[in-house]
Chains A and B, each alone.
Chain A
Amino acid sequence: MRSFLPDFQVRVPATLPEALDLLAAEPGAWTPLAGGTDLMVLFNAGRLQARRFLDLSRLFELRGVQDEPGRLTLGALTTFSELREQRVVHQCFPNLVKSARATGALAIQNRGTLGGNIVNASPAADTPPALLAYGAEVELTSPAGARWIPYADFHQGYKRMDLGPAELLTRIRLPKPEGMGYHFYRKVGTRQAQAISKVCLAAYARLEGRVLADLRIGLGAVAPVPARATGTEALLRGRALDALPFEAARDALQADIAPIDDIRASAHFRRVVAGNVLVQMLKELAAVRA
């Protein structure tokens, strides 16, 4: 059943302080609306609890890309298309480009935002694994001020986040990888466009000669939240590229994930495929000429 329009209210604040004051005055009453590519689907289907929307799209404070030495800061309203079009994102964070390209199709990429992808908190969202692999931080802002936290700490459980009712996600910050690096991103869905991930794996490794000096792996669709594969990372860190333990890593990954059966894939499928994608990555790594 369609939503009945007169039930809904919208406010369009012109500045961030105005938006935050409105949120703080009635905590939880206003639902932020960014690109609308998640919210409008529910809205059209009449499945949205929210009745009052705070349109963020005019907030210039949430836009823009700040390229500084050592780090890149992205406004929460940065769209997938903008990620695909930024030279610095291609140069420093290729997994982010791949994740943006793997999201929906062009019309979705033109509207959907990075902030919306994060706060919608789908375990199957496609930029979170890349953000985890790059050690991203997120900025949460309320009238009391802004705080930065590691993105890895943001998701606390299925659709539960470290985000207060008077807070907005305002920016995302990524440290630029230094030295010799290896980037890997693979999304497995039913088809290339418009498909929600069955398994998604992003990784960033820092290499010292032929040694895996550091490694971060982010996973999607295999746990209640976008998750780091910390056990697998620990097993692999410090190993020589010529002696990567493929099968032990596959086993370690099984302990890092907790997939479920749903309409897109069975838990068994997700376990097997996540392991296969990890081994594919390790084989690629072993073939890197450092």
Chain B
Amino acid sequence: MPETFRLDFTVNGQARSLDTHPMARLLDVLREGLGLTGTKEGCGEGECGACSVLLDGRVVNSCLIPAVQAQGAEVVTVEGLAAGGGLSPMQDAFLAHNAAQCGFCTPGMLIAAEDLVRRCPAPDKEQVREGLAGNLCRCTGYSKIVDAVQAVARKEGQP
């Protein structure tokens, strides 16, 4: 008998509830169970960061989280950044700085960047690089992404 359980958690501010296997990856629960396909799968082994989401306010690789460990948690995916229909300041900055090319890494980059500026409102270049070190991009060469994050940080750092 396949063993399922009722997963109750909060996704992008909304209470969600579904039956799933306790070892189902949070990544698959989000994409296939809830249709939130913004979160991507690159490597499936914690290396690339394409699957990054916030779990209880911290950036994690959703490909490494079994559903059972998301029970009762608060999850934010890239869809949750654009609250109220408009883009978030970070999304605007990525757009303005051409920080996306193919865009596959972008949801994960945005989540990691969001996590960084929440913890560290005015990161220097090194801190941005460390904050995004778990997110691989094959296209941009990273400079424009770092610029975008720093632009947001500068704006928010203003009184």
Residues of chain A at the chain B interface (Cβ within 8 Å)? 3, 5-6, 8-10, 12, 33, 36-37, 40-41, 43-45, 53, 55, 57, 81, 104-108, 110-111, 192-194
Contacts and interface: CB of A to CB of B under 8 A. Distances in A.
B117 to A, nearest CB: 13
Contacts of A12: 22, 68, 71
Given A40-B64, A41-B64, 8 more contacts: A6-B3, A8-B22, A44-B64, A55-B22, A104-B46, A105-B49, A106-B130, A193-B130
Interface in B1-60: 1-3, 21-25, 44-47, 49, 52, 55, 58-60
A5 B2 CA distance: 8
Contacts of A55: 22, 66, 68-69
Contacts of B46: 37, 40-41, 104, 107-108
A111 B64 contact: yes
Contacts of B61: 107-108, 111
A192 to B, nearest CB: 7
A44 B43 CA distance: 10
B25 A107 contact: no
Contact of A43 (B3, B23, B52, B71): B23
Contacts of B135: 105
Interface string B97-127: 0000000000000001001000000000000
A288 B44 CA distance: 46
A36 to B, nearest CB: 6
Contacts of B45: 41, 44-45
B80 interface: no
B65 interface: yes
Contact of A10 (B1, B60, B63, B66): B66
B122 to A, nearest CB: 18
B63 A8 contact: no
B115 A9 contact: no
B21 A44 contact: no
B49 A9 contact: no
Nearest to B20: A5
A111 B70 CA distance: 12
B66 A194 contact: no
B89 interface: no
A33 B64 contact: no
Contacts of A108: 46, 61, 134
10 cross-chain pairs, A with B, having the tightest CB-CB distances, nearest first: A105-B134, A193-B133, A6-B2, A10-B22, A40-B64, A5-B21, A110-B58, A105-B133, A41-B45, A8-B23
A281 to B, nearest CB: 24
B44 A107 contact: no
Contacts of A81: 58
Nearest to A194: B47
A45 B64 CA distance: 11
A108 B60 CA distance: 7
Contacts of A8: 3, 21-23
A37 to B, nearest CB: 6
B64 A5 contact: no
A120 to B, nearest CB: 13
